[in-house]
A and B are shown apart, each in its own frame.
Chain A
Amino acid sequence: MRTFVPAILLFTLVLSAAPTARAQASSGPSDLPPGSAQLINPEDLLKLLQSTTGEKPLLLNVGPSLLYMQAHIPGAEYIGAGSDKQGLNKLRARVKSLPHDQLIILYCGCCPWSHCPNVRPAYNQLATMGFAHVKVLYIANNFGTDWVDKGYPTIKGQ
Chain B
Amino acid sequence: MPTRRIVLIIIVIAIAVAVYEAGQHRSTAKGGHPGALDSTAATFSLQDLDGKPLALASYRGKVVLLNFWATWCTPCRGEIPQFIDYQTKYGPQGLQLIGISMDDDAKPVQDFYQQFKMNYPVAIGTATLAESYGGVLGLPVTFLIGRDGRIAAKYVGAAEMPVLQQKIESLLQSK
Contact = CB atoms under 8 A, between A and B. Distances in A.
Interface stretch (B7-15, B40-48, B67-75, B110-118): B67-75
Contacts of B137: 67, 70-71, 109, 142-145, 148
Contact of B104 (A81, A115, A144, A148): A81
Nearest to B78: A115
Contact of B127 (A70, A112, A141, A144): A70
A70 B72 contact: no
Interface in A113-158: 115, 117-118, 141-145, 148, 156
Interface of A: 64-67, 69-71, 81, 83-84, 109-112, 115, 117-118, 141-145, 148, 156
Interface residues of B, number: 22
B157 A112 contact: yes
For the complex, would chain A's binding face be called helix, strand, loop or mixed by DSSP majority? Answer: loop
B131 A70 contact: yes
Given A112-B75, A115-B73, A115-B75, A143 B138 contact: yes
A65 B135 contact: no
Contact of A64 (B104, B126, B140): B104
A115 B75 CA distance: 8
B156 interface: yes
Interface string B72-94: 11111000000000000000000
